């Protein structure tokens, strides 16, 4: 059974993944200045809509999906955990390719990353406890929200602060680093996920078939929900594209860190997060190509 499957992941691999995600976050942060945050204080609506879509709407839609499908405990908790994570590391690149508001996307990633210190563990605990099988799993793993908050803070917030500081003090340097670092970090992250899957290929093959459809549906719900919410909020198409992509592109790498750090690499959770890491890149790039065919009104 998938709930009894455990994905092998060494302590060294976990440290490497932590480092990769820190580099990814740093590559995003060197696009930011303190003035970017102040700009949204004057016109906060798109940012607020985006954060509500990400931290309230997506977890709620995920819970509805879980209630309808009734998956096994670890699969359900994997979906909930991914939905509770902040925006994905490639969302800014995809938003740019889609012709959306890349500045809004970067700011959403930054704000959601800071908010994840409190909101990620809170969403996992709240929504996970509402589904009986995953509630039992949460009790047996004795999840510690404080430890999760510390992990998120060290891995994401510290690189964010360092990146913004470097961009403020040495903009010429960050201008040279920005594009190569973003590409390198994305390639390294995708390569790491592929190698992790290869090391656990028999487990992945045995269970991925049943999970693939759920992950694809989950991702479609995230993208569709983000688009619908932004439309109802009457955001411009330019901002709507950013909110759509930020809602549907999740930081599954952070999800993997939390799964191996706090849930012992539980098979269903790890396979959900790993498949998410591959699929959301595919769906996001396809969506960006479709959106880029028409110019978005600002």
Confidence of residue 242 (pLDDT cuts 50, 70, 90): very high
| Domain 2-291 bears CATH identifier 1.20.1530.20 | yes
β-bridge partners, 250: 87
pLDDT of 10 above 60: no
Tens digits of residue pLDDT in 78-106? 999 999 998 876 787 788 788 888 778 87
pLDDT of 193 above 70: no
The whole-number pLDDT of residue 144 equals 66
The whole-number pLDDT of residue 60 equals 97
* Beta-strand runs (E) in the chain: none
CA distances from 204 to 50, 117, 241, 272 (A): 33, 30, 33, 10
CA 82, 88, 91: angle at the middle one, nearest 5? 140
The whole-number pLDDT of residue 241 equals 94
Closest listed residue to residue 284, CA positions, set 237, 259, 235, 247: 247
pLDDT of 36 above 70: no
The whole-number pLDDT of residue 2 equals 60
pLDDT of 261 above 70: yes
pLDDT of 168 above 90: no
The whole-number pLDDT of residue 126 equals 93
Confidence of residue 200 (pLDDT cuts 50, 70, 90): low
Confidence of residue 266 (pLDDT cuts 50, 70, 90): confident
pTM value > 0.85: no
Residue 209 parent element (H or E): helix 201-232
pLDDT mean across residues, the chain: 82
Interval 52-56 mean pLDDT: 95
As a residue count, the chain comes to 298
Domain boundaries, given as residue ranges, for the chain: 2-291
Confidence of residue 4 (pLDDT cuts 50, 70, 90): low
């Amino acid at each position: 059974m998938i709930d009894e499957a455990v994905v092998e992941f060494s302590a060294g691999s976990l440290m490497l993944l932590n480092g990769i995600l820190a580099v990814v976050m740093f590559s995003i942060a060197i696009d930011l200045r303190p003035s970017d945050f102040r700009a949204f204080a004057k016109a906060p609506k798109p940012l607020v809509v985006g954060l509500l879509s990400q931290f309230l709407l997506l977890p709620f839609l995920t819970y509805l999906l879980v209630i309808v499908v009734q998956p096994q405990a670890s699969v359900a908790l994997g979906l909930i955990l991914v939905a509770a994570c902040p925006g994905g590391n490639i969302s800014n690149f995809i938003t740019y390719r889609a012709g959306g508001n890349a500045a809004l996307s970067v700011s959403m990633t930054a704000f959601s990353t800071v908010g994840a210190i409190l909101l990620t563990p809170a969403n996992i605990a709240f929504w996970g406890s509402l589904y009986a099988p995953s509630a039992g799993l949460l009790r047996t793993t004795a999840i510690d929200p404080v430890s999760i908050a510390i992990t998120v803070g060290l891995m994401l917030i510290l690189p964010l602060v360092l990146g913004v500081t470097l961009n403020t003090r040495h903009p010429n340097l960050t201008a040279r680093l920005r594009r190569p670092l973003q590409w390198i970090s994305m390639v390294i992250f995708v390569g790491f996920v592929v190698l992790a899957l290869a090391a656990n290929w028999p487990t992945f093959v045995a269970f991925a078939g049943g999970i693939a459809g759920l992950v694809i549906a989950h991702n479609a719900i995230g993208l569709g929900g983000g688009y619908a919410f932004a439309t109802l909020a009457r955001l411009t198409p330019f901002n709507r594209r950013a909110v759509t992509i930020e809602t549907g592109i999740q930081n599954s790498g952070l999800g993997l860190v939390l799964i191996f750090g706090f849930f012992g690499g539980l098979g269903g959770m790890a396979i959900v997060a790993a498949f998410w890491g591959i699929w959301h890149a595919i769906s996001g790039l396809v969506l960006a190509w479709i959106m880029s065919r028409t110019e978005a009104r600002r």
